[in-house]
Amino acid sequence: MGKVGEGISANNASWSFGGDTPKNFSNHVRRSVPFYDEGHNLVEKLSDFFVKSNSICYEMGVSTGALIQKLSVRHAESVQWIGIDNESSMIEQASKEIKLSNGDLGNIELLVDDIKSCWYEPTDFIISYYTLQFIHPKFRQELINTIYKKLNWGGAFVVFEKVRSCDARFQDITSSIYIEYKLDNGYSSDEVIAKSRSLKGVLEPFSTQGNIDMFKRAGFNDITSIFKWVNFEGFLCIKWWKVKKCKSIWLTTWVI
């Protein structure tokens, strides 16, 4: 078992968010993911355009609850925030950290559930903050299809992901830069290698175009990149209408 930093250990091809990982995950992820908190701030600002009074909103893969806690404070108490994670120890840690910040969970509900199969209410705002990349590719499209169906018209799906490059040369460059990023943040070479080995077969990023194609297959037509740092990217997908041409007359068609 290799040490990956912050006292977290992981075996080859067996990274897990359970066990003792949640206790030190907040520090670990901030050292491992570029502009982690800045991404949170961006999601907060984006939420102002979509979250309404009495909205039901979701964070898939809520981890320790840092983002959902900020969003719950930013918006009215009538907004319901639901955080989902399949690791009970992560939900337990999120509950502890949110209570330390707020005194109670307020308008947040934390669920131990599988984001692929749980029941979603009609929603205005769904967040996946570095979560889809851990969903096996064979299940990923079906999950995005469900998200699209459950979004209200004008609702948004915000996705942050690690992304693969479009060819081998770019992949070599971006991977090297990311390794240097982790070394600059104080991780040892052994820790970087141990983390990389633990993620084999667990973390499965798509390319930028691969993600966009998946969103489009689900029905999203309004898609834009909102953040990019080397091999980390954020996307904003809005459930909106599309315009199609029929018998020389332009028609606005609602996509269901």
Give pLDDT tens digits for 149-162: 999 999 999 999 99
pLDDT: which is higher, 103 or 199: 199
Give the mean pLDDT of 165-192.
96
pLDDT score, position 1: 77
pLDDT score, position 11: 92
Residues in the chain: 256
Max CA distance (Å), the chain? 65
Give pLDDT tens digits for 73-87: 999 889 999 999 999
Please write down the HEC assignment for all residues of the chain: CEEEECCEEECCCCCCCCCCHHHHHHHHHHHHCCCHHHHHHHHHHHHCCCCCCCCEEEEECCCCCHHHHHHHHHCCCCCEEEEEECCHHHHHHHHHHHHHHHCCCCCEEEEECCCCCCCCCCEEEEEEECCHHHCCHHHHHHHHHHHHHHEEEEEEEEEEEECECCCHHHHHHHHHHHHHHHHHCCCCHHHHHHHHHHCCCCCCCCEHHHHHHHHHHHCCCEEEEEEEECCEEEEEEECCCEEEEECCEEEEECCC
pLDDT score, position 244: 53
Residues 6+ apart with CB under 8 A from 205: 133, 161, 162, 163, 164, 231
Give pLDDT tens digits for 187-228: 999 999 999 999 999 999 999 999 999 999 999 999 999 999
pLDDT score, position 242: 64
Give pLDDT tens digits for 25-74: 999 999 999 999 999 999 999 999 999 999 999 999 999 999 999 999 99
Q: How far apart are CA 123 and CA 199, in angstroms?
A: 32
Amino acid symbol at 178: Y
Q: How far apart are CA 104 and CA 168, in angstroms?
A: 48
Q: For the packed helices 189-198 and 168-184, what is the interaxial angle rounded to 10 degrees?
A: 130
pLDDT score, position 254: 47
Q: Domain 35-164+205-253 sits in which CATH superfamily?
A: Vaccinia Virus protein VP39 (3.40.50.150)
pLDDT score, position 248: 47
pLDDT score, position 101: 74
